[in-house]
């Protein structure tokens, strides 16, 4: 197969931990041809969607992990599959890219994750589809509602709907003297929606990333354990990743969400689970493949390659 990955600039990717590179290497080991496409190099002209791609020769050396061919422009539909793995921010340029990839789908391209499904699943707000697994949560820009929620629960997390990597996430207690300024800052003085969730104390044991591939869970999660004095377990915020077998509750959540998300065209999804609660549904470029594989020996990228091959064969 010829597989195009829409990714960030290649020199910015950290090969020793990057899940997209793990996917590329798994496909290349099976003899598939891997191409890299940058988001600004997508275009539409006279009824066809194009991408400027570079075929990659991949190496196991994390410091010198690829050689790229000269760039060439071709229709996205000419690839056997296109993998949308551009990292957030999920800004309007990202949205425009999903529109272009959706045009490519109408021309016969197979795009994973499906562009419309990415747009339809805000990574914070998508939990609203699965309320059986969610802690008490409020989404609003109304400061009075936020105040009432914090007073009711006593301890809450306040976060923007478009953040990533733990950015702008605050823990706010009812007696916090900075409570008002935190709410004002995150909501931009009531101009932007925020999410407020009851604080889940089990976060000390880890904010778990449960990976779904074609609706099926990887049998291990990566528990991202906050560093001392922190409430955020995100690896980007200094959290420590520890791979663990899925719990019964993790499997319940995965079995409930997996088939529904795959039916919408979400091939790779990262569920965030704290204690018994689902907190996020990550669909843009879920990570943690490498950490789980290194700690457990389970070939997460190989599971991805199996699923992609099956999906392309089935025309799904």
Asked if residue 229 has pLDDT above 70, the reply is: no
Is 123 designated active site? no
Q: Which domain holds residue 240?
A: 125-129+203-314
Catalytic residue among 159, 179, 198, 208: 159
Instruction: Give the integer Cα–Cα distance in Å for 12 and 196.
Output: 33
Is 124 designated active site? yes
Catalytic residue among 224, 234, 250, 291: 224
Nearest to 55 by CA among 42, 74, 77, 30: 74
Question: Which residue's structure tokens are 């940058």?
Answer: 38
Residue 238 pLDDT grade (very low, low, confident, very high; cuts 50, 70, 90): confident
Is 86 designated active site? no
Percent of the chain with pLDDT over 90: 91
Q: Is there a single domain that holds both residue 20 and residue 57? A: yes
Assessment of whether the complete model's pTM goes beyond 0.85: yes
Structural tokens at position 279: 């907190």
Q: Contact at 8 Å (CB) between 53 and 74?
A: yes
State which of 86, 116, 146 marks the end of a domain. 116
| Tens digits of residue pLDDT in 73-100 | 999 999 999 999 999 889 999 999 999 9
Residue 237 pLDDT grade (very low, low, confident, very high; cuts 50, 70, 90): low
State which of 58, 81, 116 marks the end of a domain. 116
Q: What is the DSSP string of 246-270?
A: PPHHHHHHHHHHHHHHHHTT--EEE
Q: Is there a single domain that holds both residue 163 and residue 84? A: no
**CATH number, position 161:** 3.30.1490.20
Specify burial of residue 256 (Cβ count, 10 A radius: 0-12, 13-18, 19+). middle
Catalytic residue among 110, 179, 208, 209: 209
Is 272 designated active site? yes
Total count of domains within the chain: 3
Q: What is the DSSP string of 168-181?
A: T-EEEETT-TTHHH
Is 105 designated active site? no
């Amino acid at each position: 197969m010829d597989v195009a990955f829409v990714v960030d600039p290649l020199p910015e990717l950290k090969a020793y931990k990057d899940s997209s590179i793990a996917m590329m290497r798994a496909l290349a080991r099976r003899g598939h041809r891997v191409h890299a496409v940058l988001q600004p190099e997508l275009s539409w002209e006279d009824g066809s969607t194009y991408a400027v791609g570079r075929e990659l020769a991949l190496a196991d050396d994390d410091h010198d992990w690829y050689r790229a061919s000269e760039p060439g422009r071709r229709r996205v539909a000419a690839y056997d599959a296109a993998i949308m793995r551009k990292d957030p921010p999920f800004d309007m340029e990202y949205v425009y890219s999903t529109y272009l990839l959706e045009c490519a789908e109408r021309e016969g391209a197979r795009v994973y994750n499906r562009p419309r499904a990415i747009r339809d699943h805000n990574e914070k707000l998508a939990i609203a589809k699965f309320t059986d697994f969610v802690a008490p949560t409020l989404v609003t820009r109304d400061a009075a509602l936020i105040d009432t929620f914090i007073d009711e629960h006593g301890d809450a997390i306040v976060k923007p709907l478009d953040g990533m990597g733990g950015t702008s996430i605050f823990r706010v207690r009812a007696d916090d003297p900075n409570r008002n300024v935190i709410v004002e800052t995150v909501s931009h003085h009531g101009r932007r929606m925020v999410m407020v969730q009851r604080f889940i104390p089990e976060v000390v044991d880890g904010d778990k990333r449960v990976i779904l591939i074609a609706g099926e869970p990887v049998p291990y999660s990566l528990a991202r354990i906050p560093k001392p004095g922190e409430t955020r377990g995100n690896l980007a915020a200094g959290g420590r990743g520890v791979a663990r077998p899925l719990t019964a509750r993790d499997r319940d959540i995965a079995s409930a969400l997996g088939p529904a998300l795959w039916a919408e065209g979400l091939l790779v999804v990262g569920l965030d689970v704290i204690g018994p609660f689902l907190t996020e549904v990550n669909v843009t470029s879920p990570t943690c493949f490498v950490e789980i594989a290194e700690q457990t020996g389970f070939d997460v990228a190989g599971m991805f390659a199996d699923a992609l091959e099956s999906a392309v064969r089935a025309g799904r």
